[in-house]
Structure 1
Amino acid sequence: MDSSKQQFRAGEGQAMTEDWLQSAKDTTTGARDNVANTAQTTMDAAQQRKDETASFFQQTGDQMKNMAHGAVDTMKNTIGMNDNSNIKK
């Protein structure tokens, strides 16, 4: 084989190697981007669930507080200790 054919094949091999390397880099970059996007989506969903849970507990706490006040008022009314019933006329 003469030297020009060897150089041509060497050039072809180098070009193929560079193509494979670029393909590997592109695949790696794509995979990295997919992982980053998935992580961000997961973090966003977790934050939303955290906010929803906090809101649920806040609402539940408010409801319990209102029920306790209602129970106290009912007891006061029952035993005649309601502040409104003691108002002097």
Structure 2
Amino acid sequence: MSTAPKFNAGEPRGEGQEKADQWADAAQSAHDTAQNAAQSTKQSAEHAGGLMQQAGDQMMGMAYGAAEAIKNAVGMGSNNNTTTNKSSSTTKY
């Protein structure tokens, strides 16, 4: 008497193929999820970069304005140059 299990023709292959298909579907789903996460991360990084650029531009503008205010306060600004040389006159002979 033989105690070896009996298999019907095609039965093990069918079960194995079904498992392989399930694993392939799971792998595709994981790939799609990873791809979506990568795209979302890229978009978030681009948005954050834009915000950082705007903040940097605002800070540069504020620093420039502060420097101009100090120059004007000590008489070195461009607003003070227009009043210079108004009282001088030239005489031609």
Structure 1-normalised TM-score? Answer: 0.75
Computed over aligned residues only, the root mean square deviation of the Cα atoms, in angstroms, reads 1.8
1:49-88 alignment runs, 5 A limit: 49-87=44-82
Q: If each structure's helix is expressed as a fraction of its own residues, which one has the higher value?
A: 1
For the pair shown, which has the larger CA radius of gyration, 1 or 2? 2
Q: Which runs of 5+ in 2 are unaligned?
A: 1-5, 87-93
How many corresponding residue pairs?
79
Q: Which letter does structure 2 place at the counterpart of 1:55?
A: G
Take 1:59 and 1:48, find their aligned partners in 2: how far apart are those partners? 17
Percent of aligned positions with the same letter in both sequences? 30
Take 1:85 and 1:71, find their aligned partners in 2: how far apart are those partners? 16
Deviation, 1:43, is 0.9
The superposition leaves residues 47-89 of structure 1 with CA deviations (integer Å, 9 ceiling, x where unpaired) of 1121112111111111110000010111122222212321455
